[in-house]
């Protein structure tokens, strides 16, 4: 009866199932063996086709190669969705057949138990999605499904039941390449990687399992697992929940939840970023117990021919999704080890073309893009940085596959999940600074105005912070730091906010200033700020010149358009003073305009009440009701408008 119910109800977790309805497309449906068989966790668009004109003719080899890297172990293909004007039942069968064939490649051709597969067809001309289910794998038996349920709290559904496993493994692979047979390099490297892979399942290997983040002295002690305890034959879908009473001291029956937080409350936020994470470390037990006493032995194996030593350094970092009830031995043997093997093989394929030239710098990163309920993994080649054209094209392909917009950098390194900051609980540079101090301040006083303000978060940088005395000369530096913090917090860059000295060094490096400028107390203005933003971030800027403070209200329409379209903070410089502009409130009919000013000249403590009540962040008018001028009429002003990069 339970199997019949599963066949008759599909559970949909992602907020958006059809990624693009304007053109024919094929999407892979993702599920997990730890959730009910017809639960759709996410969807990925097929981007490799044998024929550009055929949306349902996937290049299975390329698709499988991409998905082995992208998809965490613990998730797998449970079906396919076809978008277009098609015969519904015919293309549902085809979708199921395509999903079956891709699954065979992803499992390296190994036979798996009979699996329920979903075939879905979305029509161009309506919002209807037709679902079918087959348990034969080839679509010969096809059941229409009318019962579809959308989960109200999908994040809680996934992360209340599951956790993440993380394994980080730096590997140095020494290769001896005969000088007279350089073509042997690929064979030698393949043999070396196979040797590493075999050691992962060696009976002498040791896996140390522990909680990634230590919260108290009551955290459970690490569990040691040995290679001899691994079980590579078990079917994950058949694992049943273990009772606490069945746990024993050797760790064989300890479930993953042994290392998960127990103090979850009703207010707990369930998401990838807050998921319980179990750390798995690989240790080679080369000094195991011996039956008899032996002296250490050094083995000398001389090269028979003249050879070149080549060392390939790899950084493997794997994430897996596991049910909390899953025993640790099965989690390591069926998820972590296969994940490490797939990542090593993926890196091997990327390294081969340049093995005797410049070795690529391959680094895996994990992301949880908007709309995704679980992390995905991407391996970047960073020899020439993340702005190199090949990396841009890789990210564009990922955006297409994931259904992400092409004008937001959600897959840049700065957006990657950061496990180190949670592990050591140490604040990152700038993390102690006040953010978004304009929120909740009194209104501008502009009657009938249209408010346009900064989009996103920023840090408030001002005089005397971090024990550095820049009072009287550093206001433009502080405004620049606030602007760069905005780009950091919106994940356009991963660089730290530069110090005054680093800003000066950047200007000297590009030839704008002499060496004597470094360490000086010289002012900088809009031009220098634009040079630094271009140098450090690759950000272009627009500069508006205003002859006097009285003319600033005339620029309100242009400034409002900037905040609506770009959303970045603006630097206003006049004479020896500089301010950060966070928004405008503009009444087009009356011409009345208010300016939301963040003042970097503040020298007090970071007390939000003191800052707001003292007027260091608030609305200003070019001329207030008492005739007092905030912007001086006899001063020439420059406005620096940083442009939001349109990049992936």
Residues 62 and 207 both lie in one domain: no
Residues 598 and 556 both lie in one domain: yes
What pLDDT does residue 249 have? 43
343 within a domain of the structure (yes/no): yes
Residues 168 and 124 both lie in one domain: no
What pLDDT does residue 336 have? 96
Q: What is the pLDDT of residues 222-267, one digit of tens each?
A: 999 988 888 777 666 555 444 444 444 444 578 999 898 765 555 4
What is the DSSP secondary-structure string of 326-343?
A: SBHHHHIIIIIHHHHHHH
pLDDT for residue 423 is more than 50: no
Average pLDDT over residues 91-114: 83
**Smallest Cα–Cα separation from 47: which of 22, 32, 61, 26?**
26
Mean pLDDT of the chain: 86
The larger pLDDT score, comparing residue 591 to residue 597, is at: 597
pLDDT for residue 405 is more than 90: no
Please measure the distance between the N-terminal and C-terminal CA atoms of the chain and give it in whole angstroms.
Answer: 48
Residues 67 and 146 both lie in one domain: yes
DSSP for residue 266: T
Residues 136 and 175 both lie in one domain: no
**Smallest Cα–Cα separation from 162: which of 287, 73, 101?**
73
What pLDDT does residue 281 have? 94
Range of the domain at 104: 10-152
CB count within 10 Å of CB 87 equals 10
4 within a domain of the structure (yes/no): no
What pLDDT does residue 213 have? 75
Q: What is the pLDDT of residues 286-297, one digit of tens each?
A: 555 666 667 777
Q: What is the pLDDT of residues 469-479, one digit of tens each?
A: 999 999 999 99
- 155 vs 269: CA distance, rounded Å: 9
247 within a domain of the structure (yes/no): no
Residues 409 and 260 both lie in one domain: yes
Please report where in the chains the tokens 């690929």 appear, as a residue: 186
Tokens, residue 633: 């009429």
Would you place residue 633 in the very low, low, confident or very high pLDDT band (cuts 50, 70, 90)? low
508 within a domain of the structure (yes/no): yes
Q: What is the pLDDT of residues 205-215, one digit of tens each?
A: 999 999 887 76
Question: Helix, strand, coil % (nearest 5) of the chain?
Answer: 30, 25, 45
pLDDT for residue 5 is more than 50: yes
CATH number assigned to the domain comprising residue 107: 3.40.140
**Considering 152, 174, 198, which residue would you say is the last residue of a domain?**
152
Residues 101 and 222 both lie in one domain: no
In 516-644, which ranges are continuous DSSP H helix? 526-537, 556-565, 608-613
438 within a domain of the structure (yes/no): no
Q: Which of 325-329, 425-429, 611-615 has the lowest mean pLDDT?
A: 425-429
What pLDDT does residue 359 have? 80
Would you place residue 81 in the very low, low, confident or very high pLDDT band (cuts 50, 70, 90)? very high
Residues 144 and 200 both lie in one domain: no
What pLDDT does residue 247 have? 46
Average pLDDT over residues 49-63: 87
Distances (CA, A) of 591 to 428, 437, 544, 550, 565: 43, 27, 19, 12, 21
**Considering 152, 186, 202, which residue would you say is the last residue of a domain?**
152
Residues 384 and 524 both lie in one domain: no
Q: What is the pLDDT of residues 516-562, one digit of tens each?
A: 999 999 999 999 999 999 999 989 999 999 888 778 888 999 999 99
- Helix, strand or coil for residue 257? helix
Task: Using CB atoms within 10 Å of the CB of residue 40, give its burial: 0 to 12 exposed, 13 to 18 middle, 19+ buried.
Answer: buried
Residues 476 and 498 both lie in one domain: yes
Would you place residue 570 in the very low, low, confident or very high pLDDT band (cuts 50, 70, 90)? very high
Give me the number of domains the chain comprises: 3
Residues 74 and 173 both lie in one domain: no
pLDDT for residue 427 is more than 50: no
**Considering 125, 152, 179, which residue would you say is the last residue of a domain?**
152
What pLDDT does residue 3 have? 44
What pLDDT does residue 138 have? 56
**Smallest Cα–Cα separation from 91: which of 99, 50, 77, 106?**
99
What pLDDT does residue 368 have? 92
What pLDDT does residue 646 have? 73
Tokens, residue 440: 């909740």
Highest mean pLDDT among 177-181, 184-188, 194-198, 290-294: 194-198
CATH number assigned to the domain comprising residue 590: 3.90.70.130
Please report where in the chains the tokens 């998401």 appear, as a residue: 271
Tokens, residue 200: 């992962």
User: Which bin fits 74, alpha (ψ -120 to 50), beta or left (φ > 0)?
Assistant: left
Average pLDDT over residues 21-45: 92
* Cβ partners under 8 Å of residue 295, min gap 6: none
440 within a domain of the structure (yes/no): no
Q: What is the pLDDT of residues 483-528, one digit of tens each?
A: 999 999 888 888 899 999 999 999 999 999 999 999 999 999 999 9
- pLDDT above 70 covers what percent of the chain? 87
Average pLDDT over residues 271-276: 83
298 within a domain of the structure (yes/no): no
What pLDDT does residue 58 have? 94
Please report where in the chains the tokens 């057949």 appear, as a residue: 97
Distances (CA, A) of 319 to 126, 280, 335, 378, 454: 38, 10, 9, 11, 36
The larger pLDDT score, comparing residue 494 to residue 130, is at: 130
- 645 vs 568: CA distance, rounded Å: 10
Average pLDDT over residues 606-613: 94
430 within a domain of the structure (yes/no): no
Average pLDDT over residues 179-198: 87
Would you place residue 137 in the very low, low, confident or very high pLDDT band (cuts 50, 70, 90)? low
DSSP for residue 204: T
Q: What are phi and psi of 517, to 5 degrees?
A: -70, -30
What pLDDT does residue 354 have? 76
- Helix, strand or coil for residue 169? strand
Q: What is the pLDDT of residues 345-399, one digit of tens each?
A: 999 888 887 777 778 899 999 999 888 999 999 999 988 888 788 898 999 999 9
In 116-227, which ranges are continuous DSSP H helix? 154-159, 185-200
Strand-strand pairing, 147-150 and 162-178: unpaired
What pLDDT does residue 227 have? 86
Residues 197 and 55 both lie in one domain: no
Known catalytic residues?
A: 475, 599, 601
């Amino acid at each position: 009866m339970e199997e019949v119910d599963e066949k008759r109800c599909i559970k949909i977790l992602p907020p958006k199932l059809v990624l693009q309805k304007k053109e024919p497309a094929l999407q892979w449906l993702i599920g997990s063996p730890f959730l009910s068989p017809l639960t759709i966790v996410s969807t990925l668009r097929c981007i490799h086709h044998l024929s550009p004109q055929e949306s349902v003719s996937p290049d299975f080899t390329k698709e499988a190669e991409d998905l082995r890297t992208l998809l965490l172990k613990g998730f797998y293909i449970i079906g396919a969705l076809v978008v277009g004007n098609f015969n519904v039942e015919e293309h549902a069968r085809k979708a199921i057949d395509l999903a079956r064939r891709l699954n065979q490649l992803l499992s390296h051709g190994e036979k798996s138990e009979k699996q329920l597969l979903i075939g879905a067809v979305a029509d161009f001309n309506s919002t209807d999605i037709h679902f079918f289910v087959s348990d034969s794998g080839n679509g010969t038996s096809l059941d229409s499904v009318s019962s579809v349920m959308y989960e109200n709290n999908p994040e809680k559904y996934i992360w209340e039941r599951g956790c993440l496993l993380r394994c980080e493994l730096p590997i140095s692979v020494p290769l001896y390449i005969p000088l007279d047979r350089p073509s042997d390099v690929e064979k030698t490297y393949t043999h070396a990687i196979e040797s590493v892979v075999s050691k992962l399942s060696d009976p002498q290997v040791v896996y140390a399992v522990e909680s990634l983040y230590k919260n108290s002295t009551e955290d459970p002690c690490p569990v040691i697992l040995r290679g001899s305890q691994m079980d590579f034959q078990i079917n994950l879908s058949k694992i049943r929940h273990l009772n606490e009473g069945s746990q024993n001291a050797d760790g064989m029956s300890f479930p993953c939840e042994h290392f998960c937080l127990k103090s979850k409350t009703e207010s707990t936020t369930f998401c990838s970023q807050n998921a319980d994470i179990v750390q798995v470390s690989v240790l080679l037990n080369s000094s195991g117990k011996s039956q008899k006493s032996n002296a250490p032995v050094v083995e000398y194996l001389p090269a028979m021919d003249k050879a070149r030593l080549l060392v390939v350094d790899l950084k493997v970092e794997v994430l897996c999704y596991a049910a909390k009830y899953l025993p640790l031995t099965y989690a390591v043997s069926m998820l972590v080890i296969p994940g490490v093997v797939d990542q090593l093989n993926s890196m091997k394929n990327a390294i081969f073309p340049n093995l005797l030239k410049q070795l690529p710098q391959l680094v895996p990163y994990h992301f949880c893009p908007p709309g995704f309920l679980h992390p995905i993994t991407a391996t970047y080649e960073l020899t020439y940085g993340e702005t190199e054209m090949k990396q841009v094209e890789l990210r564009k392909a990922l955006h297409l596959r994931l259904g992400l917009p092409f004008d937001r950098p959600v897959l840049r390194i700065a957006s990657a999940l950061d496990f180190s900051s949670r592990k050591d609980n140490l604040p990152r540079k700038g993390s102690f600074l006040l953010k978004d101090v304009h929120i909740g301040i009194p209104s501008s006083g502009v009657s009938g105005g249209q408010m346009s303000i900064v989009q996103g978060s920023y840090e408030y940088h001002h005089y005397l912070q971090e024990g550095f005395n820049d009072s009287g000369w550093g206001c433009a530096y502080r405004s620049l730091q606030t602007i760069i913090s905005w780009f950091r917090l919106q994940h356009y860059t991963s660089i730290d906010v530069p110090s005054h000295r680093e800003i000066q060094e950047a200007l000297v490096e590009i030839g704008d200033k002499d060496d004597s400028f470094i360490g000086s107390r010289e002012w900088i203005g809009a031009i220098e700020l634009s040079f630094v933003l271009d140098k450090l971030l690759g950000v272009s800027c627009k500069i508006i010149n205003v002859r006097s403070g009285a003319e600033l209200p005339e620029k309100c329409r242009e400034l409002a358009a900037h905040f609506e379209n770009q959303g970045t903070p603006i630097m206003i410089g006049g004479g020896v003073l500089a301010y950060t502009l966070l928004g405008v409130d503009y009444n087009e009919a009356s011409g009345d305009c208010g300016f939301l000013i963040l003042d970097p000249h503040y020298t007090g403590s970071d007390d939000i009440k003191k800052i707001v009540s003292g007027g260091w962040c608030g609305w200003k008018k070019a001329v207030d009701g008492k005739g007092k001028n905030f912007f001086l009429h006899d001063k020439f002003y420059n406005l620096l408008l940083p442009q939001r990069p349109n990049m992936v």
